[in-house]
Structures are given as structure tokens and as C-alpha cells.
Amino acid sequence: MSEKIVLKYADVPEQKNIGTYMKNGGYKALPRALSEYKPDEIIQLVDKSGLRGRGGAGFPTGKKWGFIPKTSPKPKYLVCNADEGEPGTFKDRAIIEGDPHLLIEGMAISSYAIGAHKAYIYIRGEFAMGADILVSAINQAREAGFLGKNVLGSGLDIDIDVFRGAGAYICGEETALLDSLEGRRGMPRLKPPFPVVVGLYASPTMINNVETLANIPRIIDNGAEWFAGIGTPHSTGTKIFCISGDVNKPGVYETPMGISFKELLKMADGIKDGKKLKAFFPGGSSTPILTDAHLNIEMDFESLKKAGSMLGSGAVIVLNEDRCMVKTAARLVKFYRDESCGKCSPCREGTDWLAKVYKRIMDNKGRDGDIDLLLSISHDIYGTTFCPLGDAATMPVVSSIKYFRKEYEEHINGKCNHTDN
């Protein structure tokens, strides 16, 4: 079950050099794409592969590409979202630092498919090493003729620039990212219009996650049927899971979609110190918590949705039996409160109210009715905000109360029985 697609060569030393990348089969997909396929045919191929966005939303990539207007008086842009900041997530960094040319080749092919001549990689500011690696890989690709003017004699210009963020979680939201790229405070835009029509510089813009784009060369190399044959019927291909928390071997694990959580936990060598599983976030801190009752759940878009959670970014955070769920939720609420951009009131005020209630609970000053208050504030935030950050803040709150209400009551009654997180 260790079929790797994206991270296949990421551990190879010097894979970030173009020579090694090409020795391992790199830059074969781009010439094929340019010579054997029309742009539309690539979109159809990606659609047929069933590839869905790996950033969190899981929207079918081929369908999304199809929304880019065929003719436009304005230039079209491709933007790679490398603002990896969802707590628990560290997969894009593995791709960027391990196999940057795979991303670059994927971006060149994707630019061709949607008709973009200029692409940006928006990378979080803290990834200084990743940004340097990307810049030198782009320069190598340009020198070799895979980027720049008249790519491989095709007559097409395709180029990529690296744009560094400066420390704002919200810029991972695609319209906030665009505002940041335009040199503004990174605040989400009202949708519609969607970025595919009015995006960067008010031009049609395709925004895709690093992992999504890194799958593209493999689909060209091996075909849509091959890709669709991996994983489950509605969640095709592999997923890079980031496992952190109370496991023996935290790290990135790429497996076909649909692997059971139990298997995944086994890959990470089980729970640390021989303890029992208590709960886990299946896809990052913005996805509802699941418990030991979900040990056999299949890790794919549809199974996790059915269980009331989400695949998200594939960031699995594991908590053992001794962990305090109230403290975990309180910590995340503080995170969302601090990262709220403040543009819309349900998120700005709501996350602050949640944080205040959690603070008094953690200070042993919780009141009767505080649990219902947390639920009521969450209810009023959910679905009423500009962007998903507000919704995300309610996820750890509502799900931890759903499964661990007793722990909240214990806290309010002044007796938490759990060791420090």
C-alpha cells in the first residue's frame, strides 16, 4: 500500500537538481503535453483522471480549469497556493524542498492548458529555504528551455515567479492570497465574481494547491485511466497525509486515497508510549475531530464527509487518551481569533467571544451555560462569514463538545483529569 506518485523521488538526494530530476523521468511530460495535446485535451484528461484539489476543498481540478474563459481580453494567470499554514499540515513543504521541478513541470503544463503565460508561486514567508530552492529550480528550468520565451520551440511563453508571503494564515484563502499578491492587506474578497473570471489584476486566474499541480506531470506520463484506477471511485489518486501528534513516527505518508485510518496509524508506528487513541483531526485543525470509534474510517473525501468531518489538507493530528480536549479546542480557537483578518463581524467578533469563554473556562472560572454559549456563538458564526476561516473556528469547538462534553463539564466544575498538553 505504499504506492507513491508525488513523493516518489522526493527523498532522492539532489532530486532538486534538474539533471537528477530528468534522470528520474522528469521533463518528459511537458514536451508530450505541448506536442501531443491541445490545451482543451489536457483539461479533459485531468477531468477524466478524477483529480480533486488537494488544498482542502476537494473540487474537481479539470472542472475548475474548464471555468477559465476560453477567450479573454485580459491575460490569464496561474497561481500556485503554497501558503501552507493549516495547523498540522507540512506536505507542500515536502514537495517543494524534495522535488521542486515536479511542481514547476506541473505548473508549466497547467499554464499551457488554461492559456496562462505568467504563473506565480505564493509561498508562505517562513519557508525561506523552500523559496530559495524554487527560485534556483526555476532558473535551471528556464536555462534548459522548459520555461521562458518560446518554451521548447512551441512558440509559447510560460514563466513562473516566486512571491513570498509575510506571515498571515488567512492568505491561504484564495481571494485573500490574490489581494496579498496585489500588495494589499490579505483580506478575502466577496464571491462571486470567482477568481476564474475576475482574479489577479481583475483577470481570469486559476489557483491550485502545490500537491494538486504536482500530480499533473504524472497524469500526462501515465494517463487518466491509470490515475483513476488508484484510490476510490470518487477520490482518485494518492494523498499525502501529514501525521503529527502522539504517534511514534510523525511525518508525511503518501498512500492511495481510501486507506483506513487504522492502516495510516500503523504506518506511523502507532500511538506513542503504548497509550490508547482518544481523538484525531483527519484533515487539519479546520476539520471536525473524530474519535477512537472512527478507527476503521476510510481516508477519502466522501467517507470523511459521511462521518461528519472532512479530508481537508490530509493533516492528521493524533491525540492520546491523556490529552485534554478542552485545552486543545481552546488553543485552536485562540489561533483562529488571532488569524481572523477582521473584515466581517461574525468572524471578528465571534472568534473573540469564543476565545473569551475558553479563557475563563481554562482559568477555572467557567460558568454554567458556557458550553451552550460556545455552541450558540459557533452556530451564529457558521455560514455567515466572507470566507471559511469563521466556519473553521467552529469546527474544533462543536466537534469536541459533541464527543467530549463531559470534559467541558469537568472543567467548569473545576476538575480536569488530564495531563498537560
Partner 1 sequence: MENSINTLLEKDFQGILKRYNTPRSAILPMLQFVQKKYGYISKENVETVADVLGLSSTEIGSVLSFYGMFNTSPSAQYMIYVCSNVSCGLHGAEKIITFLENRLNIKEGQITVDGKFALRTVECLGACGGAPVVQINNTYYENMTNEKMEKIISEMEKQ
Residue 225, all three cell numbers: 485511466
- CA proximity to 285, closest of 263, 309, 321, 250: 309
3-state secondary structure of 57: coil
Q: Verify binding: residue 201, partner 1, rule CB under 8 A.
A: yes
C-alpha grid cell, residue 407? 470534559
Q: CA 110 to CA 79: how far, in whole Å?
A: 10
Span from 165-173, 215-223, 345-353, 408-416 in contact with partner 1 (CB under 8 A)? 165-173
Considering only 164, 262, 348, 418, the residue that binds partner 1 (CB under 8 A) is: 164
CB closer to partner 1, 131 vs 220:
131
Q: Given the complex with partner 1, which of 85 and 217 has the nearer CB atom?
A: 85
Residue 139 binding partner 1, by CB under 8 A: no
Q: Name which of 62 and 88 has its Cβ closer to partner 1.
A: 88
Candidate segments 109-117, 123-131, 365-373, 384-392, binder of partner 1 by CB under 8 A? 123-131
Out of 3, 36, 143, 338, name the contact with partner 1 by CB under 8 A. Answer: 338
Query: Among the residues of 172-273, which ranges form H helices?
Result: 174-181, 210-222, 224-228, 261-267
Helix (H, G, I), strand (E, B) or coil at 383: coil
β-pairing, 251-256 vs 238-245, is antiparallel
User: CB neighbours (10 Å) of residue 71?
Assistant: 5
| Nearer CB in complex with partner 1: 59/201 | 201
21 near 15, Cβ under 8 Å? yes
294 or 323: whose CB is closer to partner 1? 323
* Residue 283-322 contact track with partner 1, rule CB under 8 A, x = bound: --x-----------------------------x-x-x---
Strands of 144-303, DSSP E: 159-164, 205-209, 238-245, 251-256, 277-281, 290-291
Establish if 165 lies at the interface with partner 1 (CB under 8 A). Answer: yes
Residue 286 one-letter amino acid:
S
Residues that bind partner 1 (CB under 8 A): 84-90, 92-93, 124-129, 161, 163-169, 180-186, 201, 242-246, 250-252, 285, 315, 317, 319, 323, 328, 331-332, 335, 338-339, 341, 420-421
